Amino acid sequence: MKKKLLPLFLLGSMLALFSLQGCAHDALETETETVKLQENPLSYIRKDYVKDMAVISGKQIEWENARTFKHENNVILISVPVKNESEKLIEELTFRIDGDKVSGHLWKFEANEKFSAEDHRLGAHEIMKKMTGNVTYIALEGSMRYQIKVVDGKIISDISSKFSGDGDMDSCGKKCHGSIEEVVITVPNPPTNPQPPTGPPIPPITVIPPTNNPNDPCTKAQAGSQKATDNSKTQKFSDAKQGIMNNFNQNGKENGVGMGRDTPNGELKATGVQELNANSGNINNPYNYPEADIHNHPGNTPPSAGDVYSMISYHNNYPSFNTRYIVTPGGTVYALVVTNANLFESFISNYPPSQIPGFAPNFSGSMFDDYTDIPNRETGLAHVLDKYNSGIALTKMDGNGNFKKINAKPNSNGGYSQTPCP
């Protein structure tokens, strides 16, 4: 019994550290920006602090539904709901304020089942008590990231955690939140994802160690992979994917859907299903800011060289276009994502496509040799995209619906094996 209680005791002790002062002075919060806050902290955060932050680029932030929380008459936290189209995702932005310091974070509650409208009004603990899935806490600055897994309302420790076993949501108690006076700034309409009324959420326990090396392939692909994951969890994507496969079952050809926005931060939209050719075609993307497209490969094959070269060409004309999804009859879903568009010019110059009339473009020279030397097309493509600095990465949807970059590593047999990014 003592062995069973020990992890819970440690968990409760850990959570108790996150009092109001602990939250403000947390030693892990090293990625904060020291600023002189203006009289209106919400205005400063909206206009200056979050400006050009890539992690929230394209998100529909409901600033008009922001809420502040006070402690001893001082504003210590502002929370802002983030609108999204997925029924299995609740997102929140929180901004902690400690004197002249601000630190922002993005919360993601990703459930296996759909959230109800009432769930959006619950506090963090109440949401987790009702869900099975992942809760992620991402710093807007730097690379700090926490994640916990919740199963039937209980915290299940990650393999990288010091702790093991179940954690009770109630073990935190009031020590995590302290006494907070809530002040609603303005709520003209009921928010889509309102801030849970019980106070600022507590940081989860499991620490996913950040990758600080900017040259690490996983670091380079992280933003693109996350964007591909976020868009794939929308109803627009699900409908497009299903429509493409329905058409394929009827015509046996490639079929595609274009996705984009009318304004930079507008609603994500999708075209109807477009019938293409047997093994190629151009997808019409009529939006002012094309963002992605989806098409199927009839032969259960991964993305091709033609997909890579045409994606680069399209991005050069529309820089907002950063993701190309490929779905197969077998259920595999890939995404080519842009990692560094500044490499496109030199890549095309050094390794131009080999074009045979009537066929899709292919790699050329040593890049083609390296690609064909690896029997597994997934591994071969991942290898040459990295080796020849294409600025594109190959990712693949895992069992949890998240896109992970595929890495090709030399093995003891003289070939290459796959290792996904964490």
Q: What is the dihedral of CA 403, 376, 390, 422, to 10 degrees?
A: 30
Q: What pLDDT is recorded for position 147? A: 77
Average pLDDT on 157-162 reads 38
CA distance 341 to 73: 48
Q: What pLDDT is recorded for position 107? A: 86
Q: What pLDDT is recorded for position 31? A: 38
Q: Let me know how many helices (H) and strands (E) the chain has, helices first.
A: 10, 20
For residue 289, is pLDDT > 50?
yes
Q: What pLDDT is recorded for position 247? A: 93
Higher pLDDT pick, 381 / 210: 381
Q: Residue 379: which residues within 8 A CB-CB, separation 6 or more?
A: 406, 408, 416, 417, 418
> In which band, very low, low, confident or very high, does the pLDDT at 142 lie, cut at 50, 70 and 90?
low
Instruction: For the beta carbon of residue 272, count every other beta carbon within 10 angstroms.
Output: 11
Q: Give the closest residue to 201 by CA, choosing from 77, 84, 116.
A: 77
Angle between helices 217-232 and 235-251 (to 10 degrees): 80
For residue 243, is pLDDT > 80?
yes
